Each structure stands twice: as structure tokens, then as C-alpha cells.
Amino acid sequence: MTTQRKPLSTTTRRNEVSRRAILTAAFELVQEVGYARLSIEGIAARAGVGKQTIYRWWPSKGAVLFDAFLMLSERPDGEGSALPDTGDLEADLKTVLRATIEELNDPRYDEPMRALNTEITHDPALAALYAERLDGPMRELKKQRLRSAQRAGQLAGGLNLDVAVDMLWGPLLNRWLQRSGALTPDYADSIVETALNGLRPRREGLRSLP
Amino acid sequence: MTTQRKPLSTTTRRNEVSRRAILTAAFELVQEVGYARLSIEGIAARAGVGKQTIYRWWPSKGAVLFDAFLMLSERPDGEGSALPDTGDLEADLKTVLRATIEELNDPRYDEPMRALNTEITHDPALAALYAERLDGPMRELKKQRLRSAQRAGQLAGGLNLDVAVDMLWGPLLNRWLQRSGALTPDYADSIVETALNGLRPRREGLRSLP
Amino acid sequence: MTTQRKPLSTTTRRNEVSRRAILTAAFELVQEVGYARLSIEGIAARAGVGKQTIYRWWPSKGAVLFDAFLMLSERPDGEGSALPDTGDLEADLKTVLRATIEELNDPRYDEPMRALNTEITHDPALAALYAERLDGPMRELKKQRLRSAQRAGQLAGGLNLDVAVDMLWGPLLNRWLQRSGALTPDYADSIVETALNGLRPRREGLRSLP
Amino acid sequence: MTTQRKPLSTTTRRNEVSRRAILTAAFELVQEVGYARLSIEGIAARAGVGKQTIYRWWPSKGAVLFDAFLMLSERPDGEGSALPDTGDLEADLKTVLRATIEELNDPRYDEPMRALNTEITHDPALAALYAERLDGPMRELKKQRLRSAQRAGQLAGGLNLDVAVDMLWGPLLNRWLQRSGALTPDYADSIVETALNGLRPRREGLRSLP
DNA sequence: CTTTAAGCGAGACGGTACGTCCGGTCTTCGT
DNA sequence: ACGAAGACCGGACGTACCGTCTCGCTTAAAG
């Protein structure tokens, strides 16, 4: 896998054009034909590349897919733009979760992301890489926003932020993966509200106390 | 798929022995060799059955897997035993989530369940069946427990119970599928506590008000 | 290899159409593209057959080629027609050797026969089969003609007929395989004459003695 | 091919060490793994040489093999030592043919020679080169011995010596290539005797005539 | 005595074919 | 009539080599 590509030892004569062609082909193919019909041969053919060039640099179909996502996620120069922070945590979270839903519902990303999830679920090594390179950075942004809210006293002090992130995005992703219900903006709102307030009853009247 | 097996029209000359052998073989195979190496041929060979017998009765590998789970879930006579209801919602939920975690961590179920999830995520028809026959009944039990708590005033009145269930099990399943962290009993506890109380700070002192 | 095809055990459900298509395709292909470019994939494609069907029934490319020759050689119903026997041994042998030369020079047979020879030279098992099924019967016919001549007193009494056959056909085949010279009818004649008379001088005058 | 190596134009900066390493590797490899598994990559690897160095100087695998034989055959300083000439043609020929048989039966030469023959049979250009550089000189030696016998009246006057050589070595080589029988010293003797005397009966008694 | 250009080891590259596995379909036989 | 057995066409697997193509390095020649 192209994990340590940056240093690129002087003796590594890797063809960058082929690399990008392969990743692009993989991403496009999986979105066109679906995960089940995604084949290394197909990727090689579409990329105009020999199969060996894929096997030389990636250990599995999932690794190719992973790098394809990595390439996409690295598009922006400044890399990670922070999550919106208007001071209104609830509104900000709803914005972000609605955006997540939109992406999951986008036919351009739906199949590829399901494919990546499938590979991750069956390959711990890939999962570790995913945690480090893709999920990790994103999760850090989310935790930053939550930390900011915590400082503003909008979140419980002892809160485990990883659990908090799971509470917000877990339900969404699970509903998407298991197709256990429609992913609507309303659902995003419900998740945010319920997560913030908790399942227990809150004494609403007390909120306005001095 | 064996969806309408109950009526068993008189003309259905289906061999029940073969059926069970196939489902058992499928379940055992996937747990032994993993999802990627699970093949219809392998199932047929292990079940001592012709391939055609599988193709005759199931439309896909996922459908076989699904029926295998269905068979397992129907073992108990009384079918659906309700969730524990000691009156202490938090404790009951922790018990149940810890049990869920134990099952997901059980090597006998881990691979098969990942396989089923993979099939569901890539096959809407299977997902619908899953929602109806496997997830649905289980979700109903969960909601019953929550309704009971709601009646006891332990849950917010306007609560959408489906969202509540998602809030409790979603994070767990997502962490399991994406392998984004260890599934420990502590994690289950955290989820339950955070879900019940919400992410916002609670004025603890007020709880003791009349 | 299809060595014991005749009995065709009742459980062998071999597709005769595919078999003939494969053998025909192999023969035609080798004569069109040559031995070096002859591939199992090519044969399968031209025969409209899955590769596995070839690998199921033949252990090697050479074996397919061998069976292709076998099929061709079995065309005639009565199988083995004897060699011409006009009573004039020298004339008969020249006729037969000239025919052999014509066949070797025929572009339809040249490449295929070279290919078969190559396979035989590198595969003793195939060579044994060749000796038994193709070369053997032909050699028997040749020896029959020589035996007839021997009875007529036209050949030396203690002659080893296998050596005699080698003396007649060996030079020809060797010149053809090694391309060490043109295969002309005159060459056939020279071989026959020299083989019959020997390299030593004959006292011509003594021939007319009583 | 290294046909005109001797003049070695002043601009040819060819590495003689690599050249010998390649030829040696080729010869050893073919005798170890056989013709079918002989690959340019394998030769390059064993010779510790880049593939390009082979492709730069030889047009084909067969050409490398040919040069390997050429290198071996050039070992002796004086190049071509004549065939034995004791005056007894029959004995001399038996000696030489027995030596030929021994070489063909030698496992060190068997596979390589079969390989070379295979390349020759499928490549006319190589065959021409073979005729000129390897077979030619050897054949000339054989013909010299026969000419000497002819002068001594031991061979027929009008004899075509090329045919004579073919009559003696053709049967041998053909039996070897087609594996149609064991190559024993007795077989060599039979060939020599039969070739010299011819297949026809000889009036033995007349030999002692004045 | 530097330049400079070739030969060289190395090995990536686009390809072709290998021999195997499996997917789905179809056919034959035995129960 | 069903089911086991398995042949069949086809597609993909992961590997081995093909012949071409850079890359730096070494080395001999021409300036």
C-alpha cells in the first residue's frame, strides 16, 4: 500500500500516471458496476495498465479502494478544513450531519463507500490504515468542534469525546449500512437533538432559571 | 428464498434434510474460511448436496446466509423472549448491550455476522428481508422495553423510539463493523449512560427537586 | 488424455462436440499461428469452449495436439490401408517416401507435425503414447511391406526390420526437422537406392550371374 | 546474434564477461529445468545480468542457446579434430556413432540439445545459422572420412556423400528426438553395418573372389 | 584528462497466457 | 419428480514472462 509515499526513495521508479489512473478507474468502476462486480482485471483494463502493476503496489482490492479514497480526500491543498463553529453547537452539528447524509445518499459515493466499508470489516489491517489515515483525521476535526463546545460549557465536563462522536455518527452510519431506514435530514436533526438532550426526560422549565 | 415456507404447499417436495445441511454448512464455512472464501460450491460440497439444490431454492449466497441466521434465531421454542425489565432502565440496558458485545466478540458469530452485514449492505432486497424477519422482531423487543420505561417516566415523552434504539445500538454496531475501537463492557456502559443523559451538561443538583 | 475412450464408462458424461471442436481448433491454430504462439486459451476461444474443459481432459498442450493427430488419422473407416506392393520394392519405397515428403512439405501439415515432434521430444509420456498409437501402426505397415520383400528374397535374410525402417525414414525426418536440406523427390529416391544397395561398392557385373 | 564477433568493430563496447555468463547460464538452466521452463528472465537472473543485455545482443532465446553451443564447441584450440581413420571404415564409423550415442545419452547434453533442435525446427533463420556454424563443420569432417574411404575403394564411386552422412546419422538422431527406441551401442553398430551393406542380400561368397 | 555516450544491472511497465477456482446453467442417473 | 453429481461456458484470480522502457552507475572513447 502507498502508505509511505512521501519519502519516495530515489530508487523507487513508480509511475505516478499509472497510479492515478488505477485509483481513478477503481473508484469509477465500483460506482458503476458495484462492489460485487469490481475486479482487478476490470480496473487494470479501464486504467490501461497491466494487472501486475496493481499487484506490485497494492496487496488487495480493498487497498486499492482505500488509496482511491485517500487520493480524493487529499484533493484540497490545506487538507483538513475545520467543522463549522458558529457558537450554536446544535445547529452546527445538524449542518454537518445533514451534509454527511447528503454524501451517503449521493449515488457517486454510495457504492464506493459501501465497498470500502465491506473491505474494512473483513480486513483488520485495512481497518487500522483506515483509522489512521481517513477516519482518524476526520474524527479529530469532530472532536475539536466538540472540545470547543465543551469549553463553552455546552457539553458535559467529563464527556468522553470519542463516545460522543460515536453517539452522533454511529446511528447514521449504521442505518445507512444496514439500510434499516431512510437517511433524511429530519433523521439527522433527531439524532443531534436526542444525543444532546439524552433519552431521559429533561425538566424544560428549569432551563430558564437564572 | 424460503420466505413462505410455513404453508408448504403440498406440491413442494423439498428435502428438509438437505435444507438444514446447506444452512449449517454455510454458517460453519463462513466462520471457518471467512466471507471472501465462502463459495456456493464449498457449501454444496460440505453439505453433501448438488449445487443445483442451492440454486433452486436461494437466489444468492447472501440469501443462504440469511436463512442460516434465521434458522439459528428460531431455535428457541417460544421464539422471542422479552428483554430484562427490572425497573432499572440503565442497568437493564447495560446488561443487554454487554450481551450484544459478547456476541459480536464471539468468534463463532463474528465472521458470519460480518458476512451477513456485507450482503445486506449490497443487496436492498436482502436488507428488506432482514429488516422484516431478523432485525424487526428484535427491534420490537427493544422498543417494548423502552416503552415500559417511558410509561414509568424514565424516558422523555416525545421520544422517537426508533431513534432511541439507533442511539443505543448504532454506535456499538458501527464500531464493530468499522473496527474503529475495541468493544468492551465499559464501552457499552458509556454508551448507555451518555445516551440516557445526553451530551449536554445536566444540572445534577436539580434532580433531587420535588 | 483420451486414451481409453472406447469403453466410455457410463458415468463419463463427456461432450463429444466440444472434444472435436477442441481438437480441430488446436490443429488449425497451430498451422495458422505456429507452435510458439499456440495457446490453450487460443484453442479454447476458437473452439468456443471453456479452458477448464481442456484442462479436464488433457494434461498438456502436447496431449491435445496428439489427440488432434489421432482424430485425423482415424478418419478412414478401414483404418490402416497397407502400403503398395507391386512386387518392385524399390519403386514402391520411392512412391511411399515421395508421398511422405509431399506431406511434410504440405503447409497444412508442416507446422502441426513440427509441433507434435517438439512435444514428443520433451515429454517421454507423450512419446510412449505416440509410439503406441500413431507411429506404431504406421511402422507395422512399413514392416509388413518389407517382410513381403524379404519373403521374395529382395531383402537380406537377417535384416532387423526396425533398423531398416529407421534407415529409410530416419534420414528424411531428420533432414526435415533440422532443415538441413531441401526435401525433394530426388532425395527420396537417393535414400531408397542408397539404403537398398548400401554405401559399399557392389560388383555390378556379378549381378547377372546365374 | 554474435555472428560477426571476431572483427569486433572498434566501437563495440561489449562486455565479454556478461556474454559468457549469459551463455553459461542458458546452457546450465536448460539442462536443469528443461526447455519448457527456460526463460530469458531466468537466464538473466542466473547470469546476474539485466534482461536488456540479452535482448541487446540476441534476437531470441534460440539464438542464445545456439551461441551457448557455439561457445562449447569452440573450446578446443585447433577447432576441428578429424574423425579417426584407421583404414577400417566400418570400425571407425562404429566408434564415431557410439560416441555420438554416448553424448546424446549424457544427461548434461540431452536436454540442451533437444532444446536447440526444437528452436531450429521452428526457426529457419536459426536453422541456417546452425547449418553454417555447427552442423556444417561437423558434417565436413564426416565427409572427409568418407572421401578417404571412397579413395580407398571402400565406398561406391558415385555416392552422394551428404546422403551417406544422412544415412548414418539420420536414423540415430531421429530415434533420439522421437524417442522411438533406446540408443544403444548395438544400435549404432546395426546402423553402420546395414548402411554399408544395404538392405538387399549380398552374395557373401563372392567377396573372396580375386 | 575531461567530457560524453555506450553498455550495463536493475526493474517498472503494458501485455499475454498460464493453470485454478468459482458462478450459474444444464444434463444424466439413481432413488 | 427430486436430488447428487458433475460437465459445461465463461470470467476472474494471482503468477510468470514477454519485450520495451527508463533510471543511475560505470567505463572506455573522443575531444
Whether C3 maps to a domain, the answer reads no
Please indicate, yes or no, if residue A191 is contained in any of the structural domains.
yes
Q: Of A15-29, B67-81, B164-178, C104-118, where does mean pLDDT reach its minimum?
A: B67-81
Q: Is C134 on the interface with D (CB under 8 A)?
A: no
B50 lies in the same domain as B114: no
Last residue of a domain, one of B73, B99, B114: B73
B96 plus B200 within the same structural domain: yes
Mean pLDDT of B149-167: 95
Concatenated DSSP letters of A103-163: HHH-HHHHHHHHHHHHHHHH-HHHHHHHIIIIIHHHHHHHHHHHHHHHHTT-S-TT--HHH
Q: How far is the CA of D156 from the C1' of F8 (A)?
A: 65
Whether the per-residue pLDDT at B173 is higher than 90: the answer is yes
Angle between helix A16-33 and helix A107-122 axes, rounded to 10 deg = 100
Q: Quick one: pLDDT band at residue A210, thresholds 50, 70, 90?
A: very low
Residue in B15, B39, B8, B36 with CA at minimum distance from that of residue B26: B39
In-domain check, residue C81: no
> What is the reported pLDDT for C81?
78
pLDDT > 50? residue D98 = yes
Nucleotide E25, nearest residue via CA and C1':
B52
pLDDT value of position D79: 55
Has residue B41 got a pLDDT over 90? yes
pLDDT digits (tens, 9 = 90+) for C119-132: 999 999 999 999 99
Candidates B169, B199, B200, B204, partner chain A, best to mutate (most A CBs within 10 A): B199
Q: Which bases of chain F are contacted by protein, using any atom under 7 A from a CB?
A: 1-24, 28-30
Q: Which one, of B75, B48, B171, B61, lies nearest residue B112 by Cα?
A: B61
Mean pLDDT rounded to a whole number for chain B: 89
At C113, the pLDDT band (50, 70, 90 cuts) reads very high
pLDDT given for residue B79 in this prediction: 53
- Using the predicted structure, report yes or no on whether residue B121 has a pLDDT greater than 60: yes
Of A121, A128, A181, the CB nearest to B117: A121
pLDDT at residue D202, as a whole number: 80
Q: Which chains neighbour D (Cβ–Cβ under 8 Å, 3 or more pairs)? A: C
* Judgement on whether residues B97 and B153 belong to the same structural domain of the protein: yes
Q: Measure CA D34 to chain center.
A: 19
- What percent of chain D clears pLDDT 70, i.e. is strictly above it? 88
Q: Name, in order, each residue with C-beta under 8 angstroms of C48's C-beta and a sequence gap of 6 or more.
A: C21
What is residue B207's predicted lDDT score, i.e. its pLDDT? 46
**C-beta contacts of A54-58 below 8 A and 24+ residues apart:** A54/A22, A57/A1, A57/A2, A57/A14, A57/A19, A58/A1, A58/A2
Co-location of D95 and D57 in the same domain: no
| Average pLDDT value for residue range C99-114 | 97
Mean pLDDT of chain A: 90
Residue D81 lies in a domain: no
Indicate the pLDDT class of residue B204, thresholds 50, 70 and 90.
low
pLDDT in tens, C25-56: 999 999 999 999 999 999 999 999 999 999 99
Separation of alpha carbons A75 and A27, rounded Å: 15
Substitution target in D66, D92, D121, D184 with the highest count of C β-carbons within 10 Å is D121
pLDDT, position B15: 80
User: Beta carbon of C52 within 7 Å of strand E?
Assistant: yes
| pLDDT tens track for C1-31 | 444 443 444 457 899 999 999 999 999 999 9
Q: Are A117 and B178 a contacting pair, CB within 8 Å?
A: yes
d(CA B43, CA B71): 16
Structural domain harbouring B61: 16-73
* CA/C1' separation C150–E14 (Å): 64
Q: Say yes or no for a CB contact (<8 Å) between D174 and C156.
A: no
The CA–C1' separation of C14 and F3, in angstroms, is: 21
- DSSP assignment of chain A: --TTTTT--TT----HHHHHHHHHHHHHHHHHH-STT--HHHHHHHHT--HHHHHHH-SSHHHHHHHHHHHHHT-STT--PPPP--S-HHHHHHHHHHHHHHHHH-HHHHHHHHHHHHHHHH-HHHHHHHIIIIIHHHHHHHHHHHHHHHHTT-S-TT--HHHHHHHHHHHHHHHHHHT-S---HHHHHHHHHHHHH-SS---HHHHT--
Q: In chain A, pLDDT over 70 holds for what percent of residues?
A: 88
Pairwise CB contact (< 8 Å): C198 & D201: no
More confident residue, C181 or C202: C181
| Domain endpoint, select from D26, D41, D73 | D73
- Record: contact D179-C35, CB cut-off 8 A: no
- In percent, the amount of chain D with pLDDT more than 90 equals 83
> In A, residues 43-82, which contact B (CB 8 Å cutoff)?
none
Residue B89 pLDDT exceeds 60: yes
List the CATH number of the domain containing A21: 1.10.10.60
Contact: B167, A167; criterion CB under 8 Å: yes
Residue D76, pLDDT > 70, answer no
- Mean pLDDT over all residues of chain C? 90
Q: Is residue C84 part of a domain?
A: no
Indicate if the pLDDT at residue C204 is higher than 60: no
| Model confidence at D206: pLDDT above 80 | no
* Judgement on whether residues D95 and D155 belong to the same structural domain of the protein: yes
The closest alpha carbon to A146, from A194, A192, A179, belongs to: A192
Mean pLDDT of A168-178: 98
Q: Are D99 and D197 contained in the same domain? A: yes
Write the pLDDT tens digit of every residue in D102-161: 999 999 999 999 999 999 999 999 999 999 999 999 999 999 999 999 999 999 989 999
Query: Is the pLDDT confidence value at C80 over 90?
Result: no
Q: What percent of chain C has pLDDT over 90?
A: 83
B155-179 average pLDDT score:
96
Domain identity same for B160 and B136: yes
pLDDT of residue C201: 92
Residue D60 lies in a domain: yes
Q: What is the pLDDT of residue D31?
A: 95
Residues 6+ apart with CB under 8 A from A185: A98, A101
> Beta-carbon neighbour count of residue A135 at 10 Å?
18
**Residue A76's pLDDT band (boundaries 50, 70, 90)?**
low
Q: Which of B48, B73, B98 is the last residue of a domain?
A: B73
Our count of domains for chain A comes to 2
> Are residue B167 and residue B67 in the same domain, yes or no?
no
Average pLDDT for chain D: 90
User: Cβ of A163 and B202 within 8 Å?
Assistant: no
For the segment C80-96, the average pLDDT, to the nearest whole number, is: 93
Between chains, do C195 and D196 touch, taking CB under 8 Å as contact?
A: no
pLDDT score recorded for residue C78: 53
CB atoms within 10 A of CB C156: 18
| pLDDT bucket at A186, cuts 50 / 70 / 90 | very high
C43 lies in a domain? yes
D93 shares a domain with D65: no
Same domain flag for B131 and B55: no
Q: Is residue C61 part of a domain?
A: yes
Residue A144 and residue A43 share a domain: no
* Alpha carbon distance D145, D176 (integer Å): 24
B210 has pLDDT over 80? no
Round to whole Å and give the CA distance between B113 and B65: 9
Residue C34: closest CA among D64, D123, D55:
D123
Q: How confident is the model at residue A170 (pLDDT cuts 50, 70, 90)?
A: very high
D160-205 pLDDT per residue, tens: 999 999 999 999 999 999 999 999 999 999 999 999 999 999 865 4
| Predicted confidence (pLDDT) at residue D48 exceeds the cutoff of 80 | yes
CATH number of the domain where residue D154 is located: 1.10.357.10
- Residue B188 shares a structural domain with residue B93: yes
